[in-house]
Structure 1
Amino acid sequence: MFESFINPIFAPLLRLPILWVVVIISFTVSLIITLVYKFTTNQSLMKTLKDEMKEFQKEVKELKNEPEKAMEVQKRAMQTNMKYMGHSMRSTLFTFIPIIIIFGWMNSHIAYEAINPSQEFTTTLLLNNDVKGEIELIESEGITVKSENPKTIEDGKAIWLLEAERGEYLLEYKFQGRSYTKELLITEQQGYSKVSKKVSDGFVKTINIDNNPMKVLNLFGWKVGWLGTYIIFSLIFSMTLRKIVKVY
């Protein structure tokens, strides 16, 4: 629904390295959230409430030997915190839906690596465990099947090794007189068709194109996907922007 609106905005970014795509989007979203928060909340009130919570924290530490008094202070701190959260909720309502839309776009465009021309890849059919027999992948121009075909179902799945030229394809699988299809995109650019198609017809569960998951960031051997990378940079940008813009 929102693809036609958001794609012209973010699609040009796909010419950049994926790390930069995530950095730019996380900065943009953090900036928007910070500005919306600043102008949809009473900042003087928010500062007062935040200062009160800090004072309550100090009092609780000072009253560590007087548990009853400390408990009373904690109750007051919780009430103040609830007020703070209540006033923050308005800005959350303004930004929640746009963030979900942007996350959906990122998941559709940078969660997986593209399959390049002449690159070997696999497609997998997952079936109910009691389904037996052979499935045939119909060969079409531009696609080379490099594994056994038809494929015998083993452990509830059938996997084919393929190679294809650049282009958009519709893979067709034949099983016991039934026909199943799955879109496939082969490109040198960043892009891919939906990696998994749910069927659930009593025989086939899902049809998958086995794109490699995109690893955007390498932190000392820990390879992070788009979402983890987004969270890391959005935290950095949010904390920095809130200090610069003086948001409480």
Structure 2
Amino acid sequence: MVFESILNPIFDPLLRLPTLWAVIILSFLISVIITLVYKYTTDQNLMKDLKAEMKEFQKEIKELKQDPTKAMQVQKKSMQTNMKYMMHSMRSTLYSIIPIIIIFSWMTANFAYDPIIPGQEFTTTVLFEENADGMIELSVPEGMIVDGGLSKGVDSSDVKWVLSGVEGEYLLEYIFDGKKYTKDVLISTAHKYKNPIKKIKNSPIKMIKIDNTQKKLLNLFGWKLGWLGTYIIFSIIFSILVRKVIKVY
């Protein structure tokens, strides 16, 4: 990630916490930042007036249920006011969108999967295009063990190996049809991992994967959520609370 060297010193302390708490803290911080940017990049007096105007229009529409023609006229005015409100809100979005995307990229790189710990068995999978044929060989560096043979026949859409190893960063090599492909893998006791998916272009090999387990942080009535779903829920809660506390319209 381009901004990893900048963000890691800032956010690395969060990796020492349980991931759920790290996501909750970031949800709160991002909600505060977005709300403050919104407050100081918009005319709050105007936003307050527009919001009050929209509420008044909604009240009128309810009172005009028996007169659809007038209700439609009021509805048009309400939509115009709502459009003004949205246009003024867009300015703050433009200021905050890029920093938020950068932070989201860091969260994806650190919270989406469980790490591979020393001694833990994991699989690496090579996915092939249709009609791929031949033998593929896996070459592993010292410190890593392969359960089974290194060479395997390509008789289906994918080939898997089961591996384990001591702590460290490794580069796996896959030899197929005279060409060498590589994929990095991290074995660590910390909450860190390498991007588990590597897509290959213009090759019989479509993709090389390290099969890290997707991290689930929250069980919501049987619905198991990863970092993004958890972030969305807490950010909505925090945004509502923060906006009320600092009186944002």
Residues in 2 aligned to 1:155 and 1:63: alpha-carbon distance in whole angstroms: 66
Moved more, 142-151 or 119-128: 142-151
Offset at residue 226 of structure 1 (A): 0.2
2:100 is aligned with 1:99: yes
Alignment of 1:70-89 (within 5 A): 70-89=71-90
Note if contact 1:151-1:160 (Cα within 8 Å) is conserved in structure 2. no
Counterpart for residue 202 of structure 2: 201
- Pairwise CA RMSD: 1.0
Residues in 2 aligned to 1:191 and 1:129: alpha-carbon distance in whole angstroms: 34
Note if contact 2:216-2:225 (Cα within 8 Å) is conserved in structure 1. yes
Q: Which runs of 5+ in 1 are unaligned?
A: none
Residues in 1 aligned to 2:88 and 2:123: alpha-carbon distance in whole angstroms: 51
Offset at residue 140 of structure 1 (A): 2.5
Letter in 1 for 2:193: Y
Residues in 1 aligned to 2:111 and 2:88: alpha-carbon distance in whole angstroms: 35
Counterpart for residue 60 of structure 2: 59
TM-score normalised to structure 2 length: 0.97
Counterpart for residue 172 of structure 1: 173
SS at match of 2:169: strand
Offset at residue 220 of structure 1 (A): 2.9
Note if contact 1:164-1:186 (Cα within 8 Å) is conserved in structure 2. yes
Offset at residue 21 of structure 1 (A): 0.6
Say how many residue pairs are matched. 248
Residues in 2 aligned to 1:217 and 1:152: alpha-carbon distance in whole angstroms: 40
Residues in 1 aligned to 2:126 and 2:15: alpha-carbon distance in whole angstroms: 30
Counterpart for residue 109 of structure 2: 108
Note if contact 1:117-1:186 (Cα within 8 Å) is conserved in structure 2. yes
SS at match of 2:242: helix
Counterpart for residue 90 of structure 1: 91
Offset at residue 36 of structure 1 (A): 1.0
TM-score normalised to structure 1 length: 0.97
Note if contact 2:140-2:171 (Cα within 8 Å) is conserved in structure 1. no
Offset at residue 221 of structure 1 (A): 2.5
Identical pairs, percent: 59
SS at match of 1:126: strand
Note if contact 2:147-2:162 (Cα within 8 Å) is conserved in structure 1. yes
Q: Which runs of 5+ in 2 are unaligned?
A: none
Residues in 2 aligned to 1:155 and 1:231: alpha-carbon distance in whole angstroms: 39
2:159 is aligned with 1:158: yes
